[in-house]
A and B are shown apart, each in its own frame.
Chain A
């Protein structure tokens, strides 16, 4: 007869939520892991003090050219930003009128933020957008009441970046939806046209489109009509961005099951009604991260208009510093500044996209 023996009870599993277990798991699990931790700590110990010295301890914070000169090589000169703040942020806009672009950007930014908040998704948003665009262009251009007119070539800096990015996104979106729908159309001619447009535009760099906007658009239009260069560039960016957005939207359209449009047809909705009420809401919801990525790209790409001599944020930094022999050596601090601005805006956009995804996930579990 076999001897039956009880196996001793297994020990309780080790607690995984203590900080010691966390350190062991994340930093010291295995010799390779521990070695990586050591190497990275050693690298940080060698690199960080110098960096902290340059950015913080030895840095000059006052706009004092002599102090900056004395600290060159050992500390950053953040004073240059205080000194050139207005030129960097507002470009060549006439100095006495600086309140106008500031107010215009604040209005625009406030409305963009409001449009992202759930509690503001009401009908008043539409008239608000129209009002804000009127106010923005009215303030920037002037020429009425007691506001002195300011030609568009003197617009610059952050207001220009914000305006170009927002407006080209707003213009590109409807076009992108039409292109995406067209590319999935049953009508072969429409399908081929939309596909050709999207593929052609996606095959060329944005710079070539901007060159086209600045050199060729005047040739394309009837003699005597030369729209403002800002308008031409805006149109160029919007037409370019639409092709990329269209591909994202198309991915969304493909993710909607055919059953949805069949169901819509069975209750008697027409094609446009089906797309508007059934397909598009689901399609656009499915590609929020992709859309947001494209928006971030458009925002970043707006820096390219510097190359066709419009002084948005990147261009106005060059304008502010390269012409001034006293402050010219502190260009790198200026780049740190605009890098921080771009980073904050882009990071905020991607955080927002994550928030929307979480909201959608929550809606599904409800």
Chain B
């Protein structure tokens, strides 16, 4: 049996009491943070105080009760029923839906067009490459506001009047009044509600005495905003797509070729999935930019959220609340989109095993 020397238990370390000296980095760190927070708080309080004093002096009321007032203005286009007698809260909802409609369609358009242009920039064909490059340079280097104004001008000045609308097979009519298209409607002899599929039919727009009637219609404002946003953002998406595809190591493509995949198969099975992971985060950014840029619709009179808030502001004078609504809604949209794309991103992320 071996004797084990017993090591005496180590004495407890002397209690470190914090040295509250100016020389201690920890103290200084605490002090700086406290100072920063105090300064921020003081600044905010000062601003709030000023605002209250100013609002009292100018007789501006505050509070959210104005949302219940009747709007008193009409909205050019709406997804849900709205008239001047409805509340301002409903007006904001109409504006929000209009913003979402433009943003969603714009996202669709910019993704399609951007991917095509991005792939075109990598084409083997010199002319196609040059064309796509010219597209990207032109649309990226001109302010979106100017582009929206030009689209709108082209639509309302250079298209024919509704009475002489361009039409495509008597189904699509394009004129100063916008785009009319066929819609699917329930039949008039529809007795049992939604269930009677046989009664559903296409309702075609047709030229009547007072312009084009029937079917669905898109206003020129809506078309200008959607197409403008889509084309502008597509230039950025194209660059994102191009950079993503270029980021795939050449060895991957050579490996795909060596197992006998065709060019299209390589793109679909190898380059595409690999590039997608690089593309997604910056693509999300572009979607967010598009959503935020849809606020420029106010410049051409499309009744989006900003436009409604602006009208309400001029009518009620509730500047703080109206601008607050704009900021909160866009912030919520941004955070929501970012969260959704993060989930999607996690699903396509490389699973390392």
- Interface residues, chain A, with chain B CB atoms under 8 Å away: 25-27, 29-30, 33, 36-37, 40-41, 186-190, 193, 200, 202-208, 211-212, 215-216, 218-223, 296, 300-301, 303-304, 306-307, 314, 318, 329, 331-332, 335, 338-339, 342-343, 346-347, 350
Residue from A208, A215, A343 within 8 A of B141 (CB atoms): A343
- Of the candidates B32, B310, B326, which one forms a contact with A204 in the assembled complex, judged by CB atoms under 8 Å apart? B326
A221, B140: Cα distance in complex, Å = 38
Question: Does B149 sit within 8 A of A, measured CB to CB?
Answer: yes
Chain A residue numbers with a CB within 8 Å of B50 are 219-223
Known contacts A189-B33, A306-B299; is-contact A208 B127 (Cβ 8 Å): no
**A188-B33, A216-B320 are contacts. A347–B141 as well, Cβ < 8 Å?**
yes
B323 neighbours in A (Cβ, 8 Å): 208, 211-212, 215-216
In the complex, residue of chain B having the shortest beta-carbon distance to the beta carbon of A328? B157
- Contact in complex: B299, A307 (CB < 8 Å): yes
Question: Cβ of B128 and Cβ of A40 under 8 Å apart?
Answer: yes
Spot the interface stretch: B13-21, B73-81, B204-212, B289-297: B289-297
- Asked whether any CB of chain A lies closer than 8 Å to the CB of B306, the reply is yes
Establish whether residues B125 and A193, one from each chain, have CB atoms under 8 Å apart when the complex forms.
Answer: no
Q: Are B143 and A342 in contact (CB under 8 A)?
A: yes
Contacts of A329 in B (CB 8 A): 157
- Please state if B330 and A204 are interface contacts (CB–CB under 8 Å): yes
User: Do the beta carbons of B131 and A40 come within 8 Å of each other?
Assistant: yes
- In contact, A193 and B40 (Cβ under 8 angstroms): yes
B144 adjacent to chain A (CB < 8 Å)? yes
A242 CB to closest chain B CB (Å) equals 16
Given contacts A208-B306, A219-B50, contact A36 B143 (CB under 8 A): no
What sequence of 0s and 1s flags, for each residue 145-187 of chain B, a beta carbon within 8 Å of any chain A beta carbon? 1100110011001100000000000000000000000000000
CB–CB B326/A331 < 8 A: no
Contact A343 B142 (CB under 8 A): yes
B128 contacts A303, C-beta separation under 8 Å: no
Give the distance in Å from the alpha carbon of A208 to the alpha carbon of B99 in the complex. 14
Given contacts A36-B123, A41-B127, A314-B143, contact A347 B295 (CB under 8 A): no
Q: By the criterion CB–CB under 8 Å, are B33 and A187 in contact? A: yes
Shortest Cβ distance from residue A321 to the other chain B in the assembled complex, whole angstroms: 11
Across the two chains, which residue of chain B brings its CB closest to A300? Answer: B143
Q: Among B32, B53, B141, B143, which residue has the most Cβ atoms of chain A within 10 A?
A: B143
Contacts A219-B54, A331-B153, A347-B141 supplied; 15 other A-B pairs, CB < 8 Å: A36-B123, A187-B32, A190-B36, A193-B36, A203-B331, A206-B292, A208-B295, A218-B54, A219-B319, A222-B50, A303-B146, A314-B146, A335-B149, A339-B142, A343-B138
Residue contact B54 to A208, C-beta cutoff 8 Å: no
Interface of chain A, helix or strand or loop or mixed? Answer: helix
**Contact across chains for B127 and A37 when beta carbons are under 8 A apart:** yes
Residues in A with CB closer than 8 Å to B105 are none
Partner of B32, one of A190, A331, A342: A190
**A220 and B146 within 8 A (CB):** no
CA–CA, A343 and B319, complex, Å: 36
Q: A212-B323, A220-B50 are in contact. Are A338 and B146 (CB under 8 A)?
A: yes
Q: For residue B138, which residues in chain A have a CB less than 8 angstroms away from its CB?
A: 343
Residues of the B chain whose Cβ atoms lie less than 8 Å from the Cβ of A41: 127
> Complex: how many Å from CA A304 to CA B154?
20
B190 within 8 A of A: no
Query: Are A36 and B47 neighbours in the complex by a CB distance under 8 Å?
Result: no
Complexed CA–CA distance, A40 and B293 (Å): 32
Task: Choose among A27, A216, A331 the residue that contacts B157 (Cβ–Cβ < 8 A).
Answer: A331
Q: Which residue of A is nearest B158, CB measured?
A: A332
Do A189 and B330 have beta carbons less than 8 Å apart?
Answer: no
Does B42 reach chain A (CB closer than 8 Å)? no
Q: Which residues of B contact A300 (CB under 8 A)?
A: 141-144
- Whether B37 is near chain A, meaning CB under 8 Å from some CB there, is yes
Category for how many chain B residues contact A: 35 or more
Q: Report yes or no: B306 in contact with A207, Cβ–Cβ below 8 A.
A: yes
Q: Which of B24-58 contact A (CB under 8 A)?
A: 29, 32-34, 36-37, 40, 47, 50-51, 53-55, 57
Given contacts A300-B142, A303-B143, A346-B141, contact A332 B154 (CB under 8 A): yes
Please give the distance in Å from A330's CB to the nearest CB on chain B: 10
User: Contact at A204–B292, with CB atoms within 8 Å?
Assistant: yes
Instruction: Using A189-B33, A346-B141 as known contacts, say yes or no to A27 and B53 having CB atoms under 8 A apart.
Output: no
Task: Given A203-B334, A219-B50, A223-B50, check contact A332 B150 (CB 8 Å).
Answer: yes
Whether the pair B296, A207 counts as a contact (CB closer than 8 A) is yes
> Do residues B331 and A26 form an inter-chain contact, with CB atoms below 8 A?
no
Chain A residues closer than 8 Å to B32, beta-carbon distance: 187, 190
For A332, the chain B residues whose CB sits under 8 A away are 150, 153-154, 157-158
Query: Which 9 residue pairs across A and B have the least CB separation, nearest first?
Result: A346-B141, A189-B33, A26-B126, A205-B295, A203-B334, A300-B143, A205-B292, A303-B143, A203-B331
> In the complex the two chains form, is A30's CB within 8 Å of B293's CB?
no
Name the distance in Å between B181's Cβ and chain A's nearest Cβ: 26
Q: Does B137 contact A (CB under 8 A)?
A: yes
B347, CB-defined interface residue at 8 Å: no
* B313 contacts chain A at the CB level, 8 A cutoff: yes
B292: which A residues are within 8 A, CB to CB? 204-206
Contact yes or no, B40 A36, CB < 8 A:
no
Give residues of chain B (98-157) contacting chain A, Cβ–Cβ below 8 Å.
123-128, 131, 137-138, 140-146, 149-150, 153-154, 157
In the bound complex, residues from chain B placing their C-beta under 8 Å from that of A37 are 125, 127
Considering the complex, give the chain A residue whose CB is closest to the CB of B29.
A187
Residue of A with least CB distance to B236: A293
Q: Is B298 an interface residue (CB 8 A)?
A: yes
Q: For the complex, what is the distance from the CA of A295 to the CA of B19, rounded to whole Å?
A: 47
Chain A minimum-CB-distance residue to B28: A187
- Name the contact of A303 in the complex, choosing from B145, B319, B330 (C-beta under 8 A): B145
B335 at the interface (CB under 8 A from A): yes
Q: Please, could you name 18 A-B residue pairs with CB atoms under 8 Å apart, sorted by A? A: A33-B124, A36-B128, A188-B33, A189-B36, A205-B326, A207-B296, A220-B54, A223-B53, A296-B141, A303-B146, A306-B299, A307-B299, A314-B145, A331-B157, A332-B153, A335-B146, A338-B146, A339-B142
B127:A204 contact, CB within 8 angstroms: no
